[in-house]
């Protein structure tokens, strides 16, 4: 059986979206002739802790860990956070106005820590892995980012040992939605673009999760890109069996609700319906599972919807599956940013198999919208569309009262994690054969 070394920052018990993709690939790779070896930090700054994910780690696989030196302990002291506080992702702020210390820290992060705050793990990891792999050889390397420092580690190891390398991008690099918030100097911006181009050029395969990311990267480096999207694990669906629908008309959003995902048209539509229909007001519940940006909460409160909001900072993945089943509608809120069309969040694919209709606020011609249309799993409304959105929610509420609220999804099996792992294994097989 061939072996592949997977360089990943996020690994259980770390929770959150970043861990899911390669945890699931690792879970199934053995079935397709690949023995995974995972390289990950011993002491990462995890966005959340979720021990329930550890059940997916195959028995007996090698998990190699080394310590990482990160600046986050200093960052927490400077910004007045406690040592046990988790670092929020995606520039999510729980304050109305960031402090001067936070603004300075963002500048430092963007301009001095390139490509990211894990940069100090690159050289020690290249040195360690070069020695480790001479004693424990593998047939291929995989790096998954962000953080994109993982790609820099893989590139360094490839130069030392000439191993086939697959660079997997879960999100874009210089076109990620918060890139313009990093307060970059022109020099730092050039450095980010140069490193991005270097990775895209030198990796034997570059794997992305959406067609939009392919178009973005093609503008930077002309080459072949492999699309393997995120997906759902059929085994996880057991948690949702026989879970009854909520008695409330529940609109649920899973994941961090950042400022750029603040669906103003949705809150205004719900505010109108609450005023117009007393029964709707009695039945309505808005649920958010994940951190919520201050500005989102402020807009919800201004719309008069605060009493309908139930917010939970984090929930183990098994319970998230149940939440999706309980909901009347699932909210897929796309970041209202220049890269909106290419955003394809991992949660979408679990939404698809929840049998709960999906309401997407985002570009109607984006990658997420295309999947919803192809599978008939929900409806898409542009960021400024209120009239059509209101009509849809009214119709959905009528179906809720008639107990006929179902998604009508079809053709989602192509996104099952087992099938996607087979595709990934085929790509690894191809680059190892080509290398010979």
pLDDT tens for each residue of 272-297: 999 999 999 999 999 999 989 989 99
* Pair (221, 288) in one structural domain: no
Owning domain of residue 369: 234-413
- Cα–Cα separations (whole angstroms), residue 101 to 98, 104, 178, 299, 412: 8, 5, 19, 26, 46
Provide the sign of the torsion angle of the four alpha carbons 353, 18, 342, 312, taken in this order. Answer: positive
The HSE-up count of residue 398 (CA atoms within 13 Å, CB side) is: 6
Check whether 80 has a pLDDT greater than 60.
no
* Pair (226, 296) in one structural domain: no
What tokens were used for 44?
């990462």
* pLDDT, position 99: 67
Greater pLDDT, 202 or 107: 202
* Pair (31, 174) in one structural domain: yes
* Pair (345, 420) in one structural domain: no
Write the CB contacts of 175 (distance below 8 Å, at least 6 apart in sequence): 216, 338, 339, 342
pLDDT tens for each residue of 149-170: 999 999 999 999 999 999 999 9
Whether 142 contacts 185, CB under 8 Å: no
Order of strands, edge to edge, in the sheet holding 140-145?
A: 62-66, 34-41, 2-7, 140-145, 165-169, 205-208, 226-227
* Pair (218, 292) in one structural domain: no
CATH number for position 115:
3.40.50.2000
* Pair (248, 285) in one structural domain: yes
* Pair (241, 160) in one structural domain: no
* pLDDT, position 40: 98
* Pair (403, 321) in one structural domain: yes
In this structure, the number of other CB atoms found within 10 A of the CB of residue 307 comes to 10
Number of domains in the chain: 2
* Pair (367, 409) in one structural domain: yes
* Pair (80, 189) in one structural domain: yes
* Pair (220, 306) in one structural domain: no
pLDDT tens for each residue of 378-433: 999 999 999 999 999 999 999 999 987 777 889 999 999 999 999 999 999 999 98
* Pair (249, 267) in one structural domain: yes
- Cα–Cα separations (whole angstroms), residue 87 to 36, 59, 91: 29, 31, 10
């Amino acid at each position: 059986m061939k072996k592949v070394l997977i360089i990943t920052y996020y690994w259980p018990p770390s929770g959150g979206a970043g861990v899911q993709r390669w945890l699931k690939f690792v879970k199934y790779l053995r079935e397709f002739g690949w023995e995974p070896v995972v390289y990950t930090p011993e002491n990462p700054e995890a966005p959340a802790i979720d021990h329930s994910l550890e059940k997916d780690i195959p028995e007996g696989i090698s998990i190699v860990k080394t310590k990482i030196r990160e600046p986050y302990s200093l960052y927490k002291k400077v910004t007045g956070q406690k040592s046990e506080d988790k670092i929020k992702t995606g520039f999510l702020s729980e304050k109305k106005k960031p402090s001067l210390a936070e603004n300075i820290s963002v500048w430092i992060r963007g301009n001095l820590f390139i490509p990211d705050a894990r940069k100090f793990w690159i050289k020690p990891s290249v040195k360690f892995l070069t020695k480790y792999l001479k004693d424990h050889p593998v047939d291929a390397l995989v790096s998954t980012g962000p953080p994109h420092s993982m790609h820099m580690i893989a590139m360094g190891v490839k130069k030392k040992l000439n191993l086939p390398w697959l660079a997997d991008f879960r999100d874009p690099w210089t076109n990620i939605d918060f890139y313009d918030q990093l307060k970059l100097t022109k020099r730092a911006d050039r450095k980010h673009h140069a490193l991005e181009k270097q990775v895209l050029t030198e990796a034997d395969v570059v794997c992305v999760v959406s067609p939009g990311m392919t178009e973005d990267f093609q503008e930077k480096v002309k080459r072949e890109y492999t699309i393997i999207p995120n997906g759902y694990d059929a085994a996880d669906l057991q948690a949702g069996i026989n879970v009854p629908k909520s008695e409330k008309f529940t609109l649920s959003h899973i994941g961090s609700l950042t400022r750029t995902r603040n669906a103003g048209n949705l809150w205004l539509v719900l505010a109108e319906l609450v005023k117009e229909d007393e029964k709707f007001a009695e039945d309505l519940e808005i649920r958010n599972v994940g951190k919520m940006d201050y500005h989102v909460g402020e807009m919800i409160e201004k719309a008069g919807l605060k009493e309908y909001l139930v917010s939970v900072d984090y929930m183990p993945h098994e319970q998230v599956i149940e939440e999706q089943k309980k909901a009347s509608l699932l909210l897929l809120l796309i970041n209202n940013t220049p890269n909106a069309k290419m955003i394809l969040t991992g949660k979408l694919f679990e939404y698809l198999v929840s049998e709960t209709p999906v309401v997407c606020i985002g570009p109607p011609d984006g990658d997420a919208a295309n999947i919803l249309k192809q599978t008939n799993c929900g409806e898409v409304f542009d960021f400024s569309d209120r009239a059509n959105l209101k009509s849809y929610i009214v119709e959905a509420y009528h179906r809720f009262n008639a107990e006929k609220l179902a998604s009508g999804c079809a053709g989602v099996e192509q996104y099952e994690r087992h099938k996607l792992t087979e595709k990934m294994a085929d790509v690894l097989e191809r680059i190892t054969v080509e290398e010979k």
